[in-house]
Amino acid sequence: MNLFNIFRPELTDYTLRQYNKELRIMRENFGETDEHDLLFNIIDVSKDELKLNYLFTGTEKKYQKNVRLAIFRNLLDIFKNEVDDKTYELMDLLILEERFK
């Protein structure tokens, strides 16, 4: 079952399809099979670089970048209990920085 169906039931079917498509690509890029491992892999890479650039590998269109940022944000919120406060705040700032680019 898809995490977003469970934790974000208000999302439309179209949005869920977009999330699933980009999530599949993100898992392939990071070599992960589940969302939990994907999130912490993204966090580890982002903390080292202080950027989210690797998250956008293979994006050609602006909407893909926004969808991936939304996926990352939702994964952070879903697994918030497992992410320490400093890391959560840092990732939040990195997301905001990317949104304003």
pLDDT of residue 53: 85
Question: How does the average pLDDT of the chain come out, rounded?
Answer: 90
Please state, in angstroms and rounded to a whole number, the distance separating the CA atoms of residues 70 and 66: 6
What tokens does 33 get?
């099979």
Residue 1 pLDDT greater than 70, yes or no: no
**Cβ-contact 57, 45 below 8 angstroms:** no
* Among the listed residues 45, 51, 48, the one whose alpha carbon sits nearest the alpha carbon of residue 94: 51
User: Model confidence over 65-100: pLDDT tens digits?
Assistant: 899 999 999 999 999 999 999 999 999 999 999 888
